[in-house]
Amino acid sequence: MQFISTRGGAQPLSYCETLLEGLATDGGLAVPETMPRVDAETLERWRALTYPQLATEVLGLFATDIPREDLARMTAAAYEAFPDEVVPLRSIGDGITLVGLSEGPTLAFKDMAMQFLGQVVEYALERTGSVLNVLGATSGDTGSAAEHALRGKERISVFMLSPQGRMSAFQRAQMFSIDDANVHNIAVDGVFDDCQNLVKELAGDLAFKRAQHLGAVNSINLARITAQVVYYFWAWLRATDAGGPIEVSFSVPSGNFGNILSGFFARQMGLPIRRLVLATNENNVLDEFFRTGVYRPRSAAETHATSSPSMDISKASNLERFIFELLGRDGERVAAAWHELDAQGFFDVSAEQPRFADEFGIVSGTSTHADRIDTIRAVHAATGEIIDPHTADGVRVARPFVEPGVPMLVLETAKPHKFADTIREALDIELEYAPEVRAMLDAPQRVTEMPDDAAALRAYIEAHALR
């Protein structure tokens, strides 16, 4: 299996080559040259597999340059720290079932992909005899998932910038309690955009980037997208019986279009998915796109800080992979759409809009703070379950799309414990932390404070980067 660029102008690469690349050389994103297909017989055979075994089968369709036994070792290691089932399903009534993706070390779904990414990136670096210094900016969740996945790795170090004093106590503890020498937490005197601009400035200096072996593990990373495909298969296998109702729908709390893109891949691979319901919060640039066919990213100033903060995005970096399929896998048309976007601030594919639902199964909706609070209350009253605000957006937007006989599977993207303030507002409840979470919150913290200054950051990286 080779991977090509959505803009059609880059050399095909293998899975391991693509992992360390980021953007393709023509500015596009890596996609499979042909989407692998899974037939009904294979699906039935997969019912008996454990989660790591299923991951080996699904990822093996993409990572054909990795021997099976190596892949099996990596998937076993990636999901070792999870409960036995890895991804548990639980019904909350009204035809809705939650798919538990937040059982990993940072209590959010990004662990599902990051834990595998940590394994496979180290493996690819070993094969080429190289090292990687990951440079990233975080407002909380991605950074902690990356650090927990990469801590202690020999060929990787992490430089993670965060806005000083602007993360929750929980987020700070999750990152700053890590004491591995290869993890460098840097609190910048500024806001998240300042952190991101510092990353862009250094990563944009190609000589510096090459000399310091800088790279990223952001949401466009192909290992993350492919690792996320696995749980769509897993959830389908658990929610259907052999010979029972075949189609299911998924509802996905969305930001960068990474999670739902993996569901879209699963559907293109032949998994019987009826609807992919895209749920946004008040930052509803994607709901607007799927309703109108006009994609108009917003500025940082137009991006609201909401109570489902991990979905507070202004543009959706993975959308280009959907547009590639929409436009008949024609790289020139994709490149033209992004030129239009750069020139006028939007592109318009409204002529294709009816195909979003009819051909690709994608529908969408927006949830607000009041909706989130209502939904957390309603689910708690009906079932005693406490769901997190992002999952609540997923449940809320899913409801009008529930159809008789079609299980609606809502992806639970975080545990409520990470968002204690919103839970308190909705339910007037203080959440209890598990002992290992309590220990993390009380552990000593380690962080380097730095001014918002690219020269200071350069000097720090030069002094601490792996060579």
Asked if 216 touches ligand PLP (CB under 6 A), the answer is no
Asked if 175 touches ligand PLP (CB under 6 A), the answer is no
User: Which residue in the set 259, 283, 284, 366 belongs to the binding site for ligand PLP (CB under 6 A)?
Assistant: 259
Which of 56-64, 103-111, 171-179, 359-367 is the region at the interface with ligand PLP (rule: CB under 6 A)?
103-111
Pattern of binders to ligand PLP over 344-383, x per CB under 6 A? ----------------------------------------
Asked if 255 touches ligand PLP (CB under 6 A), the answer is yes
Which of 44-52, 107-115, 180-188, 294-302 is the region at the interface with ligand PLP (rule: CB under 6 A)?
107-115
- 315 has catalytic annotation: no
Asked if 116 touches ligand PLP (CB under 6 A), the answer is no
Asked if 415 touches ligand PLP (CB under 6 A), the answer is no
Q: Which of 110, 153, 415, 418 is catalytic?
A: 110
The distance of closest approach from Cβ of residue 349 to ligand PLP in the complex, given in angstroms and rounded to an integer, is: 20
Q: Which residue is nearest to ligand PLP (CB)?
A: 258
Asked if 110 touches ligand PLP (CB under 6 A), the answer is yes
Asked if 279 touches ligand PLP (CB under 6 A), the answer is no
Asked if 139 touches ligand PLP (CB under 6 A), the answer is no
Pick between residue 315 and residue 399 the one whose CB is nearest to ligand PLP: 315
Q: By CB under 6 A, what part of segment 311-350 binds ligand PLP?
A: 311
Which of 48-56, 165-173, 248-256, 269-277 is the region at the interface with ligand PLP (rule: CB under 6 A)?
248-256
Asked if 422 touches ligand PLP (CB under 6 A), the answer is no
Q: How many residues bind ligand PLP (CB under 6 A)?
A: 17
Which of 105-113, 322-330, 367-375, 433-441 is the region at the interface with ligand PLP (rule: CB under 6 A)?
105-113
- Distance set, CA 302 to CA 282, 298, 299, 305, 372 (Å): 11, 6, 5, 10, 21
CB of 52 closer than 8 Å to CB of 76: yes
Which of 79-87, 188-196, 251-259, 424-432 is the region at the interface with ligand PLP (rule: CB under 6 A)?
251-259
Asked if 144 touches ligand PLP (CB under 6 A), the answer is no
Pick between residue 258 and residue 331 the one whose CB is nearest to ligand PLP: 258
The distance of closest approach from Cβ of residue 418 to ligand PLP in the complex, given in angstroms and rounded to an integer, is: 8
Q: For residue 271, give both structure tokens.
A: 């998994």
| Residues near ligand PLP, by CB under 6 A | 108-110, 141, 219, 253-259, 310-311, 390, 413-414
Catalytic site residues?
110
